[in-house]
Amino acid sequence: MLSCVVGVEPVTLSFPVLCVVSRMLQVPYGGLDRDRPLIRLPFTSFAVGTVLLPLTGLVACLFISLMYNFEDATYTHCRVSNYLPSISAAISRVPERYIWRCCIGLHSAPRYLVSVAYFSFYRGRFARRLPELLLSGLALLCSLAENSGLLLLTYVSSTETYNVHKNGFVVFIGSSLLHMLITCWLWHVIRRSYVNPEEVTSYRWKVRLFLFNVSCCLAAAYFFRRHNKYCETGVYTLFALFEYLVVFSNMAFHMTAFWDFGSKEVIVATPPEDKRY
């Protein structure tokens, strides 16, 4: 059995889990001292590692595509010159496909954990504000849908089943934008009530990255439509460039958890022998 302390209520589970706790948390009954930590990691390091997985995977896939599969990766139905592959093209070939799937698979579980951690955080802040509490639930659903859409478009490539891959992409982008919008509003409300400098910094970067992400989405959509309509040289390259910026700004938005949970730790623990039964 495993004992995990979240807040001030001990929860007993039958399998190892990750727990997000405060470094300064005071817990009765001996608190976390009665547990035997297997892993104890600052949330800042946890957040950086989670974001570095897809970032490293994407950069590696783009590099390999440009160096070894340039013609295939930049080919489109228009048969005009292009200089950058789209992300879908860059992750659809071997070995890029396996690199990307490995990185996204490893980062998905921490992403689900962070989604739940944010929901728990919002419930504490908005316990007496029903509209924001409902928005917190919607933000959780959007975050889960975003991660699930990313998994879908990752494990079903555009060269295997295009419609499924496309639907996964639509779910990912749509839920991502809605999640960013709701998150910015919730942090706007938090900023009006609290004066923590880290929370103010987090809110400002969230808004900047959200606006940048929306702008890049619109630009990518414009160049994609123009490429399909006019088949102009280099236009698909501009689409690919703005697609990269959409993904990079999405990663940076999630990286703001660095400020939101800077005083927290991620702990995996098992109870001592005399607690087993």
Q: Which two tokens stand for residue 133?
A: 């509490």
Decide if 2 is inside a domain: no
Average pLDDT over residues 2-26: 43
Query: How far is 98 from 100, CA to CA, in rounded Å?
Result: 5
Q: Residue 17: which pLDDT band, with cuts at 50, 70 and 90? A: very low
Closest residue by Cα to residue 206 from 233, 188, 220, 225: 188
Q: Residue 6: which pLDDT band, with cuts at 50, 70 and 90? A: very low
Decide if 240 is inside a domain: yes
Decide if 61 is inside a domain: yes
Q: Which two tokens stand for residue 188?
A: 């706007």
Closest residue by Cα to residue 271 from 21, 11, 10, 34: 34
Decide if 271 is inside a domain: no
Q: Which two tokens stand for residue 116?
A: 């739940």
Q: Residue 263: which pLDDT band, with cuts at 50, 70 and 90? A: confident
Per-residue pLDDT at 99: 96
Q: Residue 272: which pLDDT band, with cuts at 50, 70 and 90? A: low
175 has a pLDDT exceeding 80: yes
pLDDT tens-place string over residues 41-53 = 888 888 889 999 9
Decide if 193 is inside a domain: yes
Per-residue pLDDT at 235: 95
For 102, residues 6+ apart whose C-beta sits below 8 A from its C-beta are 57
Query: How far is 108 from 135, CA to CA, in rounded Å?
Result: 23
If you search the block for the tokens 């900023």, which residue do you land on?
191
Per-residue pLDDT at 13: 42
Q: Residue 40: which pLDDT band, with cuts at 50, 70 and 90? A: confident
Decide if 33 is inside a domain: no
Q: Specify the number of domains making up the chain.
A: 1
Per-residue pLDDT at 1: 44
Decide if 23 is inside a domain: no
Per-residue pLDDT at 273: 58
Per-residue pLDDT at 158: 79
Query: How far is 8 from 24, CA to CA, in rounded Å?
Result: 12
Cα–chain center distance at 26: 30
Bridge partners (DSSP) listed for residue 12: 3
Query: How far is 63 from 12, CA to CA, in rounded Å?
Result: 46
Q: Which two tokens stand for residue 42?
A: 């600052």
Domain that holds residue 80: 40-261
Bridge partners (DSSP) listed for residue 135: none
Average pLDDT over residues 22-36: 48
Query: How far is 225 from 245, CA to CA, in rounded Å?
Result: 18
270 has a pLDDT exceeding 90: no
Decide which of 99 and 29 is more confident.
Answer: 99
DSSP 200: H
57 has a pLDDT exceeding 90: yes
Query: How far is 265 from 41, CA to CA, in rounded Å?
Result: 6
Decide which of 140 and 265 is more confident.
Answer: 140
Decide if 89 is inside a domain: yes
Q: Residue 122: which pLDDT band, with cuts at 50, 70 and 90? A: very high
Per-residue pLDDT at 33: 52
Question: Cα-atom radius of gyration of the chain, to the nearest Å?
Answer: 21
Per-residue pLDDT at 32: 47
Query: How far is 244 from 255, CA to CA, in rounded Å?
Result: 16
Q: What are the CA-CA distances from residue 253 to residues 44, 79, 169, 178 (Å)?
A: 14, 35, 18, 13
Q: Which of 20-29, 183-192, 210-219 has the highest mean pLDDT?
A: 210-219
Cα–chain center distance at 156: 19
